[in-house]
Structure 1
Amino acid sequence: ADLPLLPPPAAPPEQHQQPVTHEQFKAALQMVVDPGDPRMTLENFVKIGEGSTGVVCLARERHSGRQVAVKMMDLRKQQRRELLFNEVVIMRDYRHLNVVEMYRSALVEEELWVIMEYLQGGALTHIVSETRLNEEQTATVCEGVLQALSYLHSQGVIHRDIKSDSILLTLDGRIKLSDFGFCAQISKDVPKRKSLVGTPYWMAPEVISKRPYGTEVDVWSLGIMVVEMVDGEPPYFSDTPITAMKKLRDEAAPSVKSIHRVSPVLKDFLGCMLTRDTKQRSSAADLLEHPFLLQAGSPRCLVPLVEQHRKRMSLC
C-alpha cells in the first residue's frame, strides 16, 4: 500500500532558525538600495559627525557642485543591523517638508551609504546647549517637528528617537526631522511595539517598562525636547542613563527646572506631552491645534540662533 503523505514539517521555532549570514543580509539590503557606486559621483569628503551607527561626511556632487551629507554605516558594527533598512526605506517612502530629503542610498563594500540633503544650520542640540530659546522660537521649532510627526504617525511610523540631535535646521531657519534609524512601523496587524529603543533621557516611561507602545512615545520625547529648549538639557541629565531611566519609569512626570521662565500656555502644552498615562497624552495632530502654537513665527525667527552658532564655530 502507498505510504500516507506526511504532513509538511512544522516551521522550526524561532530560536532554531539559522542565523542570517552577513552575505545574506547584504543581499537583502542590496534589494532596497539604489544601484551604482556613489564614489564615482561624489568628491571632497570631510567628516562632520559621528553617531551610534556610523559617521556623517560632507561631500560634493561632481556634476552639480551641490553639497550633500553622506551617512556611512558599517554593516558589521551594528547592534541591531535589521534597523539599517529604516535608514533607507523611511526617508525614501515618506517625503515631507519637515523631513530631511534623501537623494539616494548605496552599498559601498561593507557599508550602507545614505546620501541626503545637507542642512547648514546644523542640529538643534548646538543651539539649545548655548542659548535659551524664547517662546516664539520654541513654538516655531515644535510646530515643524509636530508637522513631521503628525504625518509619520498617520502613516503608522514611530520615530522612537526624538531629541534635539535629531532636529536639523536650514540656514533660513526651517526645521527638519532626521535620524530614522530607530523607526518602527505599526499596522492593524501589529498595532504596538515593545523593544527598548531610543536614547535614555528622552525615553517614555512605557518604553523603559517594556510595555507595548505606539506613536505616543514620540510625543513624550518631544516634551523632553521642549525641556531642553527651556533648560538647556533634558531632566536628570546629570544622572547616569540607568538612574535617569529608573526615575523616568518610576517617578512623577518631570518638568522644567526654570518654571519661572515658562508661561501658563507653555506649561499646559508641556503637560499635554509629559503625561505618564498614554491615554491622556495628546497626539501630534491634537498638539498642532494647541494655543501655544499660535506663538509660532516664521522660520526667520530661528535665523539669529543659527547665525549665533555659526559665528561661535566661525563658519560664517
Structure 2
Amino acid sequence: MPFTEPTNALYKRLKDEAFQERDAEDHDAVNAADEQSEIENSERHSICTPTKQPVMEQSGQSDQGIGPNDILLLKVIGRGTFAQQVALARHRHTQDIFVVKTLDKQHLVRRKQVRHTLTEKKVLQNLSGHPFIVKLYSAFQTECDVNFVLEYCQGGELFFHLQHHKAQKFEEATMAFYAAEVLSALKTLHEKGVVYRDLKPENVLLDAQGHIKLADFGFAKQEMMPKCKTFSFCGSPEYLSPEMVAKAGHGIETDMWSYGCFCYELLTGLPPFQDDNLSTLFQKITMGKVWYPPDLSEKASSLLRDLLCVDPSKRLTAADAMNHPFFSDLDWEKLQNRQVSPPIRPECHGCDCTRNFDDGFTTSPLKFIKPHPSSKSKTDITCGPDFGSCGSAEHPKKQKVDFHDAFAEF
C-alpha cells in the first residue's frame, strides 16, 4: 500500500476503516456513540496500573469486592488515552493498598471502546491468578465512570527502569529474565485464546520484589484460537505488526511481533522501527529490515530474527520461543514459580511508596469518583481539592448519554 499521506491523517484513516470492518462483537459496542474517531495511542504514553501485596484474594470476585465507598484515594500515579485517572488508594477498613483505574464512560462510548473495556474486565477475571499478570480485585461503575481495582506494583514500569539503567539498555542476562517472564504470560494468554495487542515496556510493571506483571488489557481480544483473524487497528505505532499495518487481518502472531520489538528495545534501548512520520514508520515495518548491533550474541540475534519475521506463519510462537537456544540455560519451572531472582530490586519504602513513578503524575491533583446515586452509603471517595463528576466544571458541555445498555454487562 502507498505511504504518502500526512502522519496523523494516515493513522486516522486506518483507524476509521478498521472501525468499519470490525467483527460484530466489537461493532455492537458502539451503537450508542457518534461517528467521532480519533487517534488511539499515537504517542507512547504511560498508563500505570500497578500492584500490591496479596492480601485481598477475592481476585475475580469483582461484583462482590471493593466498592466506591470502601476507597480512600491517595495519589495519582498515571493517566492515559482512556484512563482518566490511575490512582494509588487505600481500603478504608482493612488499610490494604491497591490501584483504582478510572475510565470515563462518555469517552469510552465516543471512542468506541466499550466492548474493549468489558473484555479487559473478563480477561483479568479469568487470568488474575497468573504470577505475571496484574490481579483484578474488584470492578465497579458509577454514573459517569467505570473503575478497576487492581494490585499495586510498587516497582512501576519496566520502561522507567530501562531509562534509568546504564546506557539505557539491559545486558542480555537481564533482558532474558524479563523477556522470559513476559513470554510466560503471553503463552498463557494465547492458550486461553486471548491476543494482547499492546505489549511494550510501559505496560510491563514490576512488583516490590522485581518480578513482572503484565498490565493494561484494554486492547485485548478474546476467542482468538489458531488461524482466527480480527481486523481491529490498535496498539502503539512502533509495535504494530506488518499484518496489522497492512490490514490483512491478524491473530495471536501479532503479539509475537510486538514481543520481538520488546526484546529488541530492552537490548538496544530503542524499538527496531522508528520514525516521526507514521507513513515512513509503517513502511519500515512492512519491509521488516532490522539493524542488529554487532555486540549482540548470536543467540540473541537469532531470537530477534525469528520473532521479527514479516510473514506471521513463519514467526515463532510463544512455545517455540521458550525452546529457543537463547533461553537454554533457563529453568522454566523455577521461573513460573517466581524462584528465579530478579536482576533489579526496585527501591520501595513502605507499601504506598511511589518513588518509581513519574513526578508529573504523582504531583497532579486527584479527582473524586462519585458513587452512583443508588449507593446506600452517602460517603464519597476522599481525594484532593480538585474533583470531577458529571456536569461539573471538569466536564464542560458534556452531552447527556444513556449508558445503561452500553455498560449493562459491567
1:162 aligns to 2:199 (yes or no): yes
- Give the alignment partner of residue 43 of structure 1, picking from 52, 58, 72: 72
In 2, the alpha carbon distance for the partners of 1:49 and 1:312 equals 8
Change over 3 Å in CA distance of 1:187–1:303 after alignment to 2 = closer
Pairing of 1:115-194 with structure 2 (within 5 A): 115-131=149-165, 132-187=169-224, 191-194=228-231
CA deviation after TM superposition for structure 1 residue 311, in Å: 7.8
In 2, the alpha carbon distance for the partners of 1:313 and 1:215 equals 32
1:68 aligns to 2:105 (yes or no): no
1:85 aligns to 2:121 (yes or no): no
**Count of residue pairs brought into register by the alignment:** 287
1:252 aligns to 2:288 (yes or no): yes
Give the match's secondary structure for 2:147: strand
Change over 3 Å in CA distance of 1:287–1:36 after alignment to 2 = closer
Whichever residue aligns with residue 91 of structure 2, its letter is: E
In 1, the alpha carbon distance for the partners of 2:132 and 2:358 equals 25
Percent identical among aligned pairs is 29
1:100 aligns to 2:134 (yes or no): yes
Superimposed CA distance per residue, residues 64-108 of structure 1 (whole angstroms, 9 cap, x where no aligned partner): 212101110001113222211122111011231111110010002
Of Structure 1 and Structure 2, which has the larger fraction of its residues in helix? Answer: 1
Name the TM-score, length of structure 1 as normaliser: 0.82
In 2, are the aligned partners of 1:186 and 1:192 still within 8 Å (CA)?
no
Whichever residue aligns with residue 126 of structure 1, its letter is: F
In 1, are the aligned partners of 2:66 and 2:137 still within 8 Å (CA)?
no
Pairing of 1:257-268 with structure 2 (within 5 A): 259-268=293-302
Gaps of 5+ in 2: 1-23, 34-60, 349-353, 363-410
Name the TM-score, length of structure 2 as normaliser: 0.64
In 2, are the aligned partners of 1:87 and 1:114 still within 8 Å (CA)?
no
Match of 2:54 in 1: none
RMSD value, Cα = 2.9
Superimposed CA distance per residue, residues 158-200 of structure 1 (whole angstroms, 9 cap, x where no aligned partner): 0011111111111211111111000112356982111111111
Match of 2:316 in 1: 282
Of Structure 1 and Structure 2, which has the larger fraction of its residues in strand? Answer: 1
Match of 1:58 in 2: 88
CA deviation after TM superposition for structure 1 residue 214, in Å: 0.9
Match of 1:201 in 2: 238
Match of 2:247 in 1: 210
Deviating more after overlay: 79-88 vs 275-284: 79-88
CA deviation after TM superposition for structure 1 residue 20, in Å: 3.5
Superimposed CA distance per residue, residues 210-268 of structure 1 (whole angstroms, 9 cap, x where no aligned partner): 1121101001001111121122221343423343122212x234244xx1231111111
Whichever residue aligns with residue 45 of structure 1, its letter is: L
Whichever residue aligns with residue 116 of structure 2, its letter is: L
In 2, are the aligned partners of 1:60 and 1:67 still within 8 Å (CA)?
yes
In 1, are the aligned partners of 2:87 and 2:101 still within 8 Å (CA)?
yes
Superimposed CA distance per residue, residues 6-48 of structure 1 (whole angstroms, 9 cap, x where no aligned partner): xxxxxxxx9xx997437xxxxxxxxx96268722111033111
In 1, are the aligned partners of 2:273 and 2:281 still within 8 Å (CA)?
yes
CA deviation after TM superposition for structure 1 residue 111, in Å: 0.8
